[in-house]
Amino acid sequence: MQRRRDLLGLGLGFIGVVIFGATLPVTKLALRQLDPAFVTVGRAALASIAAMAVLVALRRRFPRQHLKLLAGISLSITVGFPGFMALALQTVPAGHGGVVLGILPLATALAAALFAGEKPSLAFWSWAALGAAVVIGFTIHENGGYSVALGDVFLLAAGASASTGYALSGKLARSMPGWEVVSWALVVAAPVMIPLSLILASRIDGPVAADVWGAFVYLALFSQFIGFFFWNAGLAIGGVARVGQVQLLQTFVTLAIAAVLLGEPVGLVAVAVAMVVGLIVVAGRRAKVEHR
């Protein structure tokens, strides 16, 4: 039974990863004509409207007892992650960002230990650390030496924000449906995000191409909202740390979509790194994770 639950959690997490995997390339497309601040605020505003519609239709009551936790989730996934990611993608290719964010599983495991009461085993930490080391090595190689570019700093900040939000979401998703967690987190952000998005929208110069608006809508409805239906459910069922390791496979999705959507070249090194981190996910899947 537990094995089935673990596999279900990993499966749901993988669906979320596929949806999230398009986020960097689609953000890069949106940034061709839209300001990073508007993309960050606007996607949260549109997603919050969709969330409110769903909550009203299903007659859900606001869980006041979880307000602080929801505020933390909101700050992490509606402001921190998309904001830092948009800043990073002004200077780095989406494919590069996808590989650098391979650090997310290790960060998520750490956040799970700090915020979600999970206790990964030494074997688990070893596999997670190996994956992080491969990603850091790739970053250094891409930058041509032992240095970290400003875009990489923003990507790491985005990863820290996302992992914190994932851990808090996974914790709360144990007591309410995963879709409801992200919906209420968006509602908490709505009083700030909606007015700001209207102000920033009024400053957009000239007509915006249809594909750019399409990218913006994807970010709002899928990356910011629907993707978390599957992701939060997977975290609650399979555990934050364990399911978080599936994020290493997100690199494949991001590289493929960046190549098709943006025409970004995919080098052999990037492909090799993606394959290695994928093998690390498989190898580390059975490492033990306890709950405190």
Mean pLDDT of successive 10-residue segments in the chain (292 residues)?
78 92 93 94 97 96 95 94 91 79 79 78 82 76 65 88 91 90 96 96 91 97 95 88 80 85 82 80 69 58
- Amino acid in the structure at residue 126: S
- Which element (helix H / strand E) includes 277? helix 268-284
- Token readout for 220 is 């709002």
Say which residues have a Cβ less than 8 Å from residue 29's Cβ, sequence separation at least 6.
211, 212, 215, 261, 262
* CA 274/CA 251 separation, integer angstroms: 6
pLDDT given at position 145: 57
The distance in angstroms from the start CA to the end CA of the chain is 21
User: 135 to each of 87, 231, 243, how far by Cα in Å?
Assistant: 20, 22, 19
Q: Where are the beta strands (DSSP E) in the chain?
A: 118-120, 289-291
**Ranges of H-type helices in 202-267:** 210-218, 227-238, 240-244, 250-262
Specify the 3-state DSSP secondary structure of 119: strand
pLDDT given at position 290: 66
- Token readout for 4 is 């089935």
Q: How open is the CA angle 60-10-172, to the nearest 5 degrees? A: 35
Q: What's the length of the chain?
A: 292
pLDDT given at position 286: 67
pLDDT given at position 254: 85
Picking from 128, 98, 123, the residue whose alpha carbon sits closest to that of residue 112 is 128
pLDDT given at position 132: 76
3-state SS string for 172-226: HCCCCCHHHHHHHHHHHHHHHHHHHHHHHHCCCCCCCCHHHHHHHHHHHHHHHHH
pLDDT given at position 29: 95
pLDDT given at position 148: 64
pLDDT given at position 111: 84
- Between helix 81-88 and helix 150-172 the angle, nearest 10°, is 160
Q: Which domain holds residue 59?
A: 2-291
State the total domains in the chain.
Answer: 1
- Token readout for 269 is 């090194």
